[in-house]
Amino acid sequence: MGRREKVKKDGEADDFESDSDEGGAPKVIKNAVDLQRLNELFEYRFGQSKALCHDKPVHIPDQRKEKKFSEPPEFIRNVMGSSAGAGSGEFHIYRHIRRREYARQQHLDSLSEKDRLDEEYQRQLEENQKACEERTAKKREKRLKKKQKQTGKKKKKASTASDASLDDDEDEEEDSDDADDKGETEKEKKKNHRDSESKQTKKSVVQEPVKSQPVSFSNQDEEETGVTAFCVKGTPSPSFASTTTYRNLAALDYVNALLRHDDMNVIVVDWGPLAKGTLLAYPLVMRRSKFVARKIAEMLLSLARQDFIKPWHVHLIGLSLGSNIASMAARILASETGHKVQRISGLDPTFLYNFDCETCIGGVSKADAEFVDILHTNTWFIGVARPVGHVDFYPNGGLLQPGCSILDGTWSLYHSVGVMYSVPTEHRLHSGYAHPLTRSWQEGNVDIDPKKLMLPVFVTDVEDAIEDIDSLPDVKRYGVATLPGVLKDLMSKGLKSVLLFGVLNRIPKDESGSGADGEGSPVVAAIRVLRDKLPDLLVACDVCLCAYTSTGHCGLLNSDGQHDNAASVKRMAAQALVYARAGAHIVAPSSMSDGIVGAIKKELVSAKLDGRVAVLSYAVKFASSCFYGPFRSAAQSAPKGVTISREGYQLPVGSRGLAHRAAARDVEEGADMLMVKPGMAYLDIVRETKDRFPNHPLFIYQVSGEYSMLFHGAENGAFDLEDAVMETFKCMRRAGADVIISYFTPLVLELLNNHRMIEKLGTNHSSSKLL
């Protein structure tokens, strides 16, 4: 209730009326309440009488504007009364309550939406269940009709067959039945005829033994085209294993390895659907395996009758249960032809077929072939433990194999690892990580570390020589007597490996390059001295003839003066073998001759050095016209005043696809490590080669021309040498190089040493070149 209404209610004077003056002028309106309050104010504060207070006329408008407030919601009026929302405090309370009400309403809406979705889901579920029941009923009805129809046919056939002979009138009965059955279409007749034939065939195959006339072979001693190998897979791995046996064979490129290893035909027997099943279903799979063995024997007999193969040129290879199938097939073939197969290779045959007797049906026996070799890799669980062949191999005791663990929960890992142990020599990997340093090269990272650096060294046949090289400043040629002291000092700074190049000053050069590995060879002498005096140093040797031949070419020439690839490969394979026997850890063929890597690998295998000596292939070596000049002067690899063109066997500068093919060729031949040369101008090839072969350590050679370019540029003030060297090294590592071969290796070792010293002293100064 307002103050004005209260005063009026108390009965005080009301002066709100409006009259006119005597002169017609409007009468001044006075507000009695305001005058009263004003008089009281002056009396209270100033103690003055009312006479001092002059009345001030106050104009009251005829009509006051009343402020209208919006009507609050009903729930607000119930809580706070009708005046809610009028003041600022009431407004804030109203806003808070409004937010709470909005949140409550949202919650109620979400609950109703959830109920609606649940009802919709339940409705859809009921509709699906109903539809499923209808489909099931239709299928059941269809099967019942089909069964009744087949039962009627069988009764009709039985009544017709009683009046005729079973042997002579069988076809006539089928024709009469087809004629009587008018509701049957021509398509159904053909289908039933094929089904009856397949049943008869299957019955004869399973129940009756293979009967055939003895097979005779003429000209048993004549030249044959090659061996025919049958690869029989085993049962698939259980559901918790990642791959099947056949996939393991394909992943390891097993068949291709066999084809490369020998002149033979390879047939893979995949009996996949019959081999399915867990370990609990193994007895059923064993019964099926006898059928598979019989089918293989039939195929062998068919090929033998047509004179495509001879039993003594058949090699049966089996993994797991496939080994037992191979033995059964060989046994059947021997009983029919009187000849044993040449060889059976069993990769961890299962013991469930062998039991305790060697002659048990299905068991692997050395009596089934002329030669039986068995590889045992899982004798602790499913593989046969006792020797059953002419030769039995037990790698790692035949129990636990490297890379497998009982905690893996996959018994198939040990069982299928026999495939890996039987891979031919092209896939032997031990040589790539036999040395502690080569093991570190297999670990990929991008830092600049002494382990990732290799120093090229020129070794002359003058024992006490220390010779400057004009084209390569700060690089020298060393004799065998002076080299160990120089390298020992660098090893104290972190040097781990060197790459040796021979230089002839006293030994005469000839067309065959006999000074490379003959008596007095500087490289052979350096290998022996370094292995004796610096046993922790890894020694790699360049395998090439350009520094030893009178022609200056990387190989031998034929009578027309052209590169003779076959003769060159044979000569350099012998050179690599001499270096390996002298004690080299790595041999590095650099001639880019076709087949050089494979030839060296075979020589190492024959000498039983393949597990200790690795092959670093100059896989991608371009025929640069400018970056090799200082090196040829340092190694004296070309006659003075003669320009040697090596474009016939080194890659074109602009080639990309050819570089990929060259790297793939050397990988297929068994290269342990790859190299791209030159380096700085071919970083795109470095990246692509690493992407294509990520599991092979990749070397990059910062060649003599690149070294001289940076050295002379810094010497003339174009840039700081240390900054330029570290930047190029980081770029090479970023591109994918695992190891850098550079003449700047001593400088980088010094920088790394200083950086470690700074960190050890704990100073605030650090070298930005190494960051």
Positions annotated as catalytic residues are 621, 677
- Give the total residue count for the chain: 771
Name the nearest CA neighbour of 278 among 250, 241, 312: 241
- Asked whether the beta carbons of 393 and 417 are under 8 A apart, the reply is no
Number of helices (H) and strands (E) in the chain: give both, helices first: 24, 16
Closest CA to 548 of 580, 517, 509: 509
Q: HSE (CB half, 13 Å, CA atoms) of 24?
A: 0
465 neighbors 424 (Cβ within 8 angstroms): no
d(CA 585, CA 518): 19
151 backbone dihedrals φ, ψ, rounded to 5°:
-65, -40
Contact 354, 323 (CB under 8 A): no
The full DSSP string for 396-444 is: GGGSPPTT--GGG--HHHHHHTHHHHT--GGG--GGGGSSHHHHHHTS-
Q: Give the residue from 523, 513, 536 showing the smallest Cα distance to 580.
A: 523
Residue 396, sorted as left (phi over 0), alpha (psi -120 to 50) or beta, turns out to be left
Q: Are the C-beta atoms of residues 285 and 322 closer than 8 Å to each other?
A: no
Is residue 604 helix, strand or coil?
helix
Handedness of CA 168, 169, 174, 179 (dihedral sign): positive
C-alpha span between 625 and 705 (Å, rounded): 10
Provide the token pair at 382.
């499913």
String of b and e for 544-565 (b: at least 16 CB within 10 Å)? bbbbbbebbbbbbeeeeeebbb
* Separation of alpha carbons 112 and 541, rounded Å: 81
Structure tokens at 653: 């500068």
3-state secondary structure 431-451: HHHCCHHHHHHCCCCCCCCHH
What secondary structure, in 3-state letters, does 490-525 show?
HHCCCCCEEEEEEECCCCCCECCCHHHCCCCCHHHH
